[in-house]
């Protein structure tokens, strides 16, 4: 019963079938010149109700780092949260792909960046800083956030407005974008370009793909050099059709949203069970598929001894734990978790 992450999962059968079907055609043109990749671009344009350029890659880190490379020069600053994946978990890939840009932390509220915190971070900067400081270039936020909360379209529109005020590009790390869309009734368009998002990392691996993510570009100017950067960054797959086949199946017939609704609903059930257990406190509102809670260490130890797998960290006596549900999480494992907690 593994709640450690949503990448402990396997591959959705629909996506395995799509890979097998892609394999039936013996030869297809390489490097993205195939018909499946062309169909993905059309499917994503429909999904986002906007012209987009789509660059499939195999990891979220590549999607993030490539996105940042087109938003920010080597002497630029990218505003992010301290705990964002880009800042904390990518081994410097954004810095590497941008040729040395600086990631600058903005304080978080419930795992999210607010427009006012971003504004405050930028206020007071100006031409007088001259050549001595990195130049503000971009903002990156994560949707759903690393703490399992979700930015509303209004949150994003406020961030978009602040980004524009300071001349910054806005990027969304959408490793769990499906969970954010499934969490409310806001469309992919509302949560991206309509709110001023210029470019995003569109995740699929955590929600049913084998290994497929995409850089989705709403601002055509940002797409101009991305193809070169992807190749130079060694993420241009010669058999691109197999990444594209995953992405096509992922969005077909709303598979991605059905998966995310399942994960989110099980997270809500786990959160209710945790919230009603004595001594357990939820650390963040549970709005997507990740739950953070703190409790006396014995609570977590007993659950782990009972066979539940999850990460803990922080305070030695009262650690925090993270539980992640996914598209294939078994309802019965969640029932067993609730029973064990009792
Ligand atoms: C918020 C977020 N962004 C991006 C990623 C991409 O990770 P990877 O490079 O392992 O595919 C992850 C994976 O854990 C993530 O949680």
Average pLDDT by stretches of 10, the chain with 342 residues:
95 98 93 97 98 98 98 97 97 98 96 97 78 94 98 97 97 98 95 98 98 98 98 97 98 98 98 96 98 97 97 95 98 96 92
H helix or E strand, kind and range, residue 138: strand 135-142
Give the predicted TM-score (pTM) of the model. 0.96
Q: Which protein residue has the closest C-alpha to ligand 1 atom 7?
A: 60
Question: HSE of 221 in the Cβ direction (CA atoms, 13 Å)?
Answer: 4
Are 220 and 191 a contacting pair, CB within 8 Å?
no
Task: Using most ligand atoms within 8 A of CB, pick from 6, 60, 147, 202 the residue to mutate for ligand 1.
Answer: 60
For residue 146 and ligand 1, the question of a CB distance below 6 A is answered with yes
For residue 85 and ligand 1, the question of a CB distance below 6 A is answered with yes
Ligand 1 centre to CA of 273 (Å) is: 27
Q: Which protein residue has the closest C-alpha to ligand 1 atom 5?
A: 60
For residue 95 and ligand 1, the question of a CB distance below 6 A is answered with no
For residue 175 and ligand 1, the question of a CB distance below 6 A is answered with yes
Task: Determine phi and psi for 128, rounding to 5 degrees.
Answer: -65, -25
């Amino acid at each position: 019963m593994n709640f450690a992450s949503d990448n402990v999962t396997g591959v959705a059968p629909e996506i395995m079938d799509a890979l097998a079907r892609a394999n039936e055609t013996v030869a297809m043109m390489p490097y993205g010149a195939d018909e499946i990749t062309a169909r993905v671009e059309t499917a994503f344009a429909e999904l986002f109700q906007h012209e987009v350029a789509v660059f499939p890659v195999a990891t979220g880190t590549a999607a993030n780092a490539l996105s940042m490379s087109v938003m920010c020069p080597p002497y630029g600053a990218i505003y992010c949260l301290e705990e964002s994946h880009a800042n904390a978990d990518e081994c410097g890939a954004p810095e590497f792909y941008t040729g040395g840009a600086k990631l600058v932390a903005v304080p978080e509220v419930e795992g999210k960046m607010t427009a006012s915190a971003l504004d405050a971070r930028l206020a007071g900067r100006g031409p007088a800083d001259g050549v001595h400081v990195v130049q503000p270039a971009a903002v990156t936020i994560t949707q759903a956030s690393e703490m399992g909360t979700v930015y509303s379209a209004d949150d994003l529109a406020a961030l978009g407005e602040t980004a524009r005020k300071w001349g910054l590009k806005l990027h969304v790390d959408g490793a769990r974008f499906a969970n954010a869309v499934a969490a409310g009734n806001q469309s992919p368009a509302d949560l991206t370009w309509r709110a001023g998002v210029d470019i995003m990392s569109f995740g699929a691996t955590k929600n049913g793909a084998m290994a497929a993510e995409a850089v989705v570009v709403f601002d055509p100017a940002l797409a101009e050099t991305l193809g070169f950067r992807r190749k130079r960054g060694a993420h241009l797959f010669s058999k691109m059709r197999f990444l594209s086949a995953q992405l096509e199946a992922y969005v077909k017939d709303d598979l991605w949203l059905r998966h995310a609704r399942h994960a989110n609903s099980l997270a809500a059930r786990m959160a209710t069970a945790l919230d009603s257990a004595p001594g357990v406190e939820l650390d963040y509102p549970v709005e997507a598929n990740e739950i953070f809670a703190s409790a006396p260490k014995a609570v977590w130890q007993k659950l782990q001894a009972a066979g539940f797998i999850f990460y803990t960290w922080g305070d030695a006596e009262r650690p925090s734990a993270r539980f992640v549900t996914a598209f294939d999480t078994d309802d019965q494992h969640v029932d067993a978790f609730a029973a064990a907690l009792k």
